[in-house]
Amino acid sequence: MDRPQYEPLAEIEVDAARPELQGFTLTGQGPDHTEYQLDLRFEMPLDPRTRTVLGELLSHSDLTISRRAARRMAAALRARRERAHKP
């Protein structure tokens, strides 16, 4: 069974994890110096200790955001990678 192909859209180094009512807002910068924001929401309440620990962990994390590639796009990306690795 073939696994779906995903293409990375952004790799982000998280600079800050701001606590919100039901989660966190993560902000950071990509290697292209573009600023990104990701809202992370939980369907359950977080007690203060859990919120503190999660905030600390998330503020020292990196994110890779990917999307499922269209079949033609995946084939084109694969071909491009193969050409790049040939001497």
Average pLDDT over residues 5-15: 90
Sign of the dihedral through C-alpha 43, 26, 59, 14: positive
**H/E segment holding residue 52:** helix 48-59
Q: Which residue reads 């269209």 in tokens?
A: 70
Whole-number pLDDT of residue 80: 77
Which parts of the chain fold into alpha helices (H)? Answer: 48-59, 71-85
Average pLDDT over residues 71-84: 72
pTM: 0.68
